[in-house]
Structure formats: C-alpha cells, structure tokens
Amino acid sequence: MIEKKLPNFSKAAIVAVGSLVVAYGLIALRNQSLTVGFALLLGISAIIAPRMSLVIPRSKIVISFSDSVVFLSFLLYGPECAVIMAVVETLANCYYNKVSGRIKFAPHMITVNTFGAGLGTASACLLWQLCAAFTDLSSFLIDTRALITTLGILALGQFAASTFLASLILPRDDGSTFWTAWKRDCLAGSTSNFVGAGTAGMVYKIISYGDVFTAAIAMVVFGIVYLTYRQSIQQINSSVEQAEAAEHKRAEVERERRVEAEKHAQQLGWTLEKEARANKALRKSERDFQHAALHDSLTGLANRKNLGDVLRKLIVNYKNDPTVTFQVLFLDIKSFKNINDSLGHTIGDKVLMIAARRFLRLVEKEDTVARIGGDEFAIILKNVSSPAKAQKVARKIYASIVQPFSLSGNQINIDVNIGIAPCDAEYDTPEEILRDADIAMHYAKEKSDGPAVFTKELRARFLERIRFEMDLRSAIDREELSMHYQPIVDLMNGRLVGFEALLRWHHSEFGMIPPNKFIPIAEQGGLIKPITVWILNETAIQLAKWQKIAPDYKDLMVSVNISGKHLSNDDLIDDVENVLESSGIAPKTLKLEITESVAMENAEHTINVLNKLKHIGVQLSIDDFGTGYSSLSVLHRLPFDTLKIDRSFVYLVGENGENSEILQTIISLAKNLKMRVIAEGVETTSQLAVLQNLGCDYAQGFLLAKPKPRDETETLLYKTHNWLPEEVSGQFERATSNVSDENLPVF
C-alpha cells in the first residue's frame, strides 16, 4: 500500500519543491543581465543537445550532452542559470523523446522530470556552495584543479540528487526496495553526469582561453570525434541489432523446437497413457478371462473346473495329513425343470441365483460353493471332521432353501436333494469323490428323507442299478420282457371283465426281477416310454385275439400301467392312438392305470392329458388309491372311470371282516365321484365278502388268480366259468339265483 502511494506522493513533492526552486532561479536571474551566450546555450540545450545523446549498446548507459550544457551554464553564468538550463534542457529532451517515439511518458511525468531536473541541479549547486565555503573552489576559472573538483562535485551532486529523486518515483510494484530500485535503474545514469561534466570542463577551458583558432580546432576535433563515435556507435548498434535479430531468430527456432519437443512429449505422454490404459484393459480382460474360466457366469460361484482344482489339493493334503478333513455336498434342486417349463428361463435363472446366495450365506468363508450343472451344486466344507457334522450343515442348508419366496409375482418353493461324501484316503481324483456324493444325492432323492451320506453299500446299489439299466436297454431285443395278466372280476356275478397287464423281466443271469425294482430304473434311465409302447402293443394285440375267443369276451378289457414319466410326455396320446389303430381293439377296452401319487404330482397337466385320452375313448383308472394324498378338489376334476383301492387297505381286513371302515369310506367316495371301484390284493374270502357287502364293483387278487403268462391266461379263458372262488361263488350263486345268467361266460 505504502509502496503504491509513495511514488505519487514523491512526484507531487518533487513538482512542488521543484517549482519553488525554478521560481527562485527565475527571480535570481532577473537581476542578472541575460547574455547572448546564455541565450545561445539555451538554444543549444533545447534544440541540439537532445539530438546528440548516444546510447552505449547493450547497456542502460545514455551519454547525453544535456548535462554538459547545464554544467557549462553553471561555470559560465552561475547556479541559477544552471537550474533554468536544466529545466529547459529536460523539458526539450522529454518532448524530443516523446515526439520521436523513443519514450512513452506516463501522464504528468514530463512535468515531474522537468521539475525534478531543476531540483537535482539546484541540489548539486547547493552541494558545491557548501563545499566552496570550506575550500577555494570559486577559483575554477583559473585553477584547473578547482575546476575539476567543481565539476566532480556538480556531477556527483547532480547524480546523487537526480537518481535519489528518480528512485523515489520509480514504481516498485514488484516489491523491490528503494536501494535495489536505485541500483537497477539509476546507477547507469552516472555516466551521463560524468561525461557531461568532462565535456563541460573541456568546453569551458577552451572558451576561457579566448583563443578562437584553438576553439575552432577544438570544435572541429570534437565534431569529428563525435561523428566518428556516433558512426561507430551506429555500426555497433546495427551489428548488435543484427546479432539481436539472429539471437531472436535462434531463440525463435529454439522456442519452436521447444514447442515441438513439448508437443512430442505431450504426444508421447498420450501414447504412454493410451498404452497404460490398453495394458490396464488387457490386465482386466485377462483377470475377467481367468475369472470366467473358473466361475459360473450366472451365479458367480466357482465352476466345475475350479471345484476340481480345490478338491485335488484337498485330496493331496488329506493323504499327507489325515487330520485335514473335508466333506463334499452334492446338491440337486428338485423339479427345477418344472420351474423352467412353467415360469420360463428368466425366472429359472433368478431361482438359481437365489439358491446360490442362500448356499453361500450358510457356509464358512473358506468353504467352496460351486455350480457344476444346470440345477446341480457342490459345496466343499473344509475343516468339518465328520459326516454327522456335514449332515448338520446340510440340514441347515435344506431348511433355508425350502423357504418360499416370490419372484415377479410368483410364489416359488424349491426343494433340494443333498448327498454327502466324506473325505477318504481311497480317493485319488475329484471325479471319484463327486461321483460318490452324487450317488448319495440319488439315494436321498429316492428315499425323500433329507440329506444322505455316502456308504460303500450305496455304491454297490448304484453299480447294480447301472448294470440293470444297461441290461434293460437290450431286454426287449433279447426277448427277456414278457407280460403277465391278472384277472379283474365283477363281484356281482363273478364275470371276467378284463386283466391287468403286469410286466415281467426274466434276466438271463439273475432270473426274475420284480417290477418294483426295475420299473424305477427304467423310469430314471429314460427307458419307460419305449417299454410302455412295447407293452401297449403286446397287450392290445393279445387282447384283440382274446376278444375273438367268444362273444362274451368281445368287450374284454386290459389295464396297462402308465408311468408318471410317460404321462408327462406329450407322446402318450400318439402312442395310444397308434396302438388302437394297429391292434384294432375298441378304445373302451383299453384302460390306462395311473398311480394316485403320480396323478396328483402335476395335477393340471394330468387333467389336461387325461381329458385328451378320454377324448380318444380309452378308460382311465386311478391306481393304488389311498396312498397318494389326493386333494378332493383335484380328484373330482380328474376324468377317471374307475378307482383302484390300494391293496394295503384290503390287507387290513381281518378274518371276521374287521378294519373295513377305510374301505367303506373309499367306496362311498368313489360312488360319489361316479367311479367304479376295483379292490386289488384280495387274498381271503372274508376280504372278498366284505368288499361285496360294501358294494365294491370289481376285485383283483391272488384269491381270484395270480398274474399269469399269456398262454396260461389263455387256457384259463377257455376253461373258467366263474372267476370267483368256489366257496364264494356258491354263496354268490345262492344270493344271485334270481339274477339272469345270460351275461356270464359260457365256459
């Protein structure tokens, strides 16, 4: 702030004090007679001196002859004249410089310079007068020593005063001090003072000799020196200018090079940056690639390969140190296909993601959860010492996974089969341990009783199953399959209404294998459909023959068991139509039996398929009724013609007809649903009597006849008159003596 204000204040002070000094000089000058010489000098200072200044190249030094006229005025006419001379000379100099464009003056600066020059000269004169009071300086006219001293004092005084004043007004925005500003901008000005003083001394001396010739010679010499010097200065200046131009050009080239280099550097920077970005992207895609190679893209879980890698290490570790235990869980989401088929794959994917999240939540950080197939997952539980502990974790997982959730407005229930394989020294590869966990999972699926732990017996069962499955594939071709027929008898009149066709497999090595054992294998191995088609053809062709034996057998019926797997397959309708066409039997003489649990499993689909079958004209029977937890609301929508009571309820009926309540309930229910009732597994006459009393329509059981091969059955067809056992048929005949006999078989 002070630095900013000080120059302005100084300028005002210089102008004020300078005006006083100039006024004093003019007043003092009035008393003196103004000589022609002084006027001439004034003219020289105003017109010639400003044009004679020389600038020393590459320096701030300006040799001006203005000071010499001032000092000469002092010597010739006294201090007042010197002050006036300084003012006139400075004013002229400023205007000359301004007009010639050499210097651009700020406002008021010409005034400040002019009065500053007067003030500086006055200060020099005062200094001289002060010195003259002590020494004999006034004799400079005759005493060269006094002259030199006088000029020295004047030059020094003027230099000191004018540079002091100049440094006061110099702008110091850059924060420089008074002293540094003086050194930087004023010190070089001393040359002008000293050269001016020297010139003034010389001129004064020549004038004081009063010798015109000497003066003329001196003036010529001075003129020649001045012109020579001026010319050389000009030459120097021009070469300096050339040098400066060359320097400027070089600097320009240098600058261009620098700009070019900077551009290159910038481009290089960009290239490096681009490269760095590309490297980063490459590293990221490398990482992504590695991640993708080891993870499942849908759930983000480890994939089969990743799981295999982890297992391989664990197997090695376990062999080295059996205390480092682990357990492998194999999980399979039940009926996941139904979710995909009914709700679509997008929902199916979301279900898998939810399942994956639930699995992850329930295991420890160090455990590995992997998706190894469509709806199959595996979990490696590390540091779990026993299968029992693994079972505990599996049960926890099970409890979590069965929690219903909603997705896009659908209530979703999922269920999971879990098999556990404990670590064992006999495992050498991940495939072996996964295979055993899978075996345990299949066992869990079969028994539907929560997670199952792998045992060697399970493996034996599994291998046997595989063997049977393989053998079953070629059983038809090898003619190992055959049909047995079990009669179904009308309880009202002992008439044969038809047979249930029951499949038999005579294994070349193991003999007779019960259907309860091989039918599930056929179902799981995808063989049940071709086998059923074979059964349908076999039985229909057989029935067509038997229907021709006698007119009473023309409506003889055959019941064929249809597996749930076949029912869910749309081909069933075509298969049935084909068999009716090829055999020529009436559709109503073919009955299809569907187990209650299968019918209820996917009720809507069952209703749909059964309606189509009904449309063809075949008959339908619900088998093993009482074991499948039927929903009554569904049951009445299923288009069954007959209901087969499961033999476990018939079996309950004792010798004296006790425990028949359930039979009674089922028979009433069937009647209400407008279905005919067949009781299967009738083994005793009391059971038969109870069923007759309860109004059961038909019966099937060992008491009436065991399932028999085709030929034996055919023999029976020829020789049997009444299909009820004798003791019962006797009673029956008595009870129905008034009923017409015309519908009974004639033989």
- Where does this chain bind ligand C2E (CB under 6 A)? 486, 501-503, 514-516, 519, 535, 561, 563, 593, 623-624, 647, 680-683, 700-702, 707
- Kindly state the DSSP code that residue 550 receives in the 8-state scheme: -
Distance CA 414, CA 409 (A): 16
Please, what is the minimum distance in Å from the beta carbon of residue 532 to ligand C2E? Answer: 6
* Residue 169, amino acid: I
- In whole angstroms, what is the distance from residue 535 CA to residue 538 CA? 5
Binding mask 578-617 for Mg ion (x = CB under 5 A): ---------------x------------------------
Kindly tell me which of 645 and 688 has the beta carbon lying closer to Mg ion: 645
Contact in structure between 358 and 396 (CB atoms under 8 Å):
no
Among ligand C2E, Mg ion, none, residue 323 binds (CB under 5-8 Å by kind): none
> In Å, how far from its chain's centre is CA 296?
15
CA pair distance 401, 450, nearest whole angstrom: 12
Q: Which is nearer to ligand C2E, 113 or 595 (CB)?
A: 595
* Alpha-carbon gap, residue 507 to 344, rounded angstroms: 43
> Residue 675 binds which one of Mg ion, ligand C2E, none, with CB within 5 to 8 A depending on kind?
none
Q: Which does 681 bind (CB under 5 to 8 A by kind): ligand C2E, Mg ion, none?
A: ligand C2E
Distance (Å, whole) CA 575 – CA 528: 13
- Cα of first residue to Cα of last residue in the chain, in angstroms, is 141
Question: Please, what is the minimum distance in Å from the beta carbon of residue 503 to ligand C2E?
Answer: 3
- Selection from ligand C2E, Mg ion, none that 535 binds (CB < 5 to 8 A by kind) is ligand C2E
Identity of the residue, 515 or 530, whose beta carbon is nearer to ligand C2E in the bound complex: 515
Residue placing its CB nearer to ligand C2E in the complex, 626 or 701: 701
* Minimum distance of Mg ion from residue 561's CB (angstroms): 5
Cβ 699 to Mg ion shortest distance, Å: 13
Q: State the minimum distance, in angstroms, from the CB of residue 644 to Mg ion.
A: 6
Is residue 594 helix, strand or coil? strand
From the list ligand C2E, Mg ion, none, partner contacted by residue 516 (C-beta under 5 to 8 A by kind): ligand C2E
Whole-number minimum distance, CB 623 to Mg ion, in Å?
Answer: 4
Contact 721, 744 (CB under 8 A): yes
Residue 623 makes contact with Mg ion by CB under 5 A:
yes
Q: How far is CA 678 from the centre of its chain?
A: 64
At its nearest, how many Å lie between ligand C2E and the CB of residue 366? Answer: 47
Alpha helices in 32-108 (DSSP H): 36-43, 66-77, 79-100
- What is the nearest approach in angstroms of Mg ion to the Cβ of residue 615? 23
- Residue 539's nearest CA partner among 503, 495, 575 is 503
Tokens of 610: 């059964």
Considering only 624, 694, 713, 717, the residue that binds Mg ion (CB under 5 A) is: 624
CB of 688 to ligand C2E, least distance (A): 11
**Strands 481-490 and 708-709, how do they pair?**
antiparallel
- Contacts of 76-79 with CB under 8 Å at 24 or more apart are 76/37, 76/38, 76/41, 76/204, 76/207, 77/32, 77/35, 77/37, 77/38, 77/41, 78/32, 79/122, 79/125, 79/128, 79/129
Indicate the SS3 state at residue 49: helix
| DSSP three-state, residue 488 | strand
- Chain length of the chain: 747
What sign results for the dihedral spanned by CA atoms 646, 647, 651, 657?
positive
Nearer to ligand C2E, 436 or 624 (CB): 624
Measured CA to CA, the distance from residue 531 to residue 392 in angstroms comes to 41
Contacts of 686 (CB under 8 A, 6+ apart): 653, 654, 655, 656, 657
Written as six digits, the tokens of 564 are 């749930």
User: Residue 661 Cβ, how far from ligand C2E at the closest point, in Å?
Assistant: 21
Location of structure tokens 């006083």: 20
CB 7 within 8 A of CB 173: no
Q: Which of residues 543-562 bind Mg ion (CB under 5 A)?
A: 561
Q: How far is the CB of 684 from ligand C2E (least distance, A)?
A: 9
Site string for Mg ion, 505-544 (x = CB under 5 A): ----------------------------------------
User: How many other C-beta atoms are found inside a 10 Å radius of the C-beta of residue 222?
Assistant: 15
3-state DSSP helix/strand/coil % of the chain, to nearest 5: 60, 15, 25
Q: At closest approach, how far in Å is the CB of 563 from ligand C2E?
A: 4
CB of 574 to ligand C2E, least distance (A): 18
Query: Which listed option, ligand C2E, Mg ion, none, makes contact with residue 707 (CB within 5 to 8 Å by class)?
Result: ligand C2E
Q: Which two tokens stand for residue 47?
A: 């017109």
Amino acid at 736: T
Residues that contact Mg ion, how many (by CB under 5 A): 4
DSSP letter string, 115-147 = HHHHHHHHHHHHHHHHHHTTS--GGGGT-HHHH
From Mg ion, ligand C2E, none, interface partner of 503 (C-beta below 5 to 8 A by class): ligand C2E
Closer to ligand C2E by Cβ: residue 442 or 647: 647
Partner interacting with residue 701 (select from Mg ion, ligand C2E, none; CB below 5-8 Å by kind): ligand C2E
Contact in structure between 162 and 189 (CB atoms under 8 Å):
yes
Q: Which does 453 bind (CB under 5 to 8 A by kind): Mg ion, ligand C2E, none?
A: none
CA distances from 124 to 65, 110, 150, 163, 651 (A): 17, 21, 10, 12, 149
SS3 98: helix
Q: Which does 515 bind (CB under 5 to 8 A by kind): ligand C2E, Mg ion, none?
A: ligand C2E
Q: From the CB of 321, what's the least distance to ligand C2E, in Å?
A: 50
Residue 503: CB minimum distance to Mg ion, A: 11
Instruction: Please say which residue, 561 or 722, places its beta carbon nearer to Mg ion.
Output: 561
367 contact choice in ligand C2E, Mg ion, none (CB below 5 to 8 Å, kind-dependent): none
Q: How far is the CB of 705 from ligand C2E (least distance, A)?
A: 9
Residue 704 to residues 129, 487, 728, Cα–Cα distance (Å): 166, 7, 10
Work out how close the CB of 546 gets to ligand C2E at its nearest, in angstroms, rounded to a whole number: 18
CB within 8 A of 576, min separation 6: which ones? 536, 590, 592, 613, 616, 618
How far apart, in Å, are the Cα atoms of 409 and each of 355, 357, 358, 406?
18, 20, 20, 6
With respect to Mg ion, which residue has the nearer C-beta, 89 or 593?
593
CB atoms within 10 A of CB 23: 11
Residue 302 site contact among ligand C2E, Mg ion, none (CB < 5 to 8 Å, cut-off depends on kind): none
Residues that bind Mg ion (CB under 5 A): 561, 593, 623-624
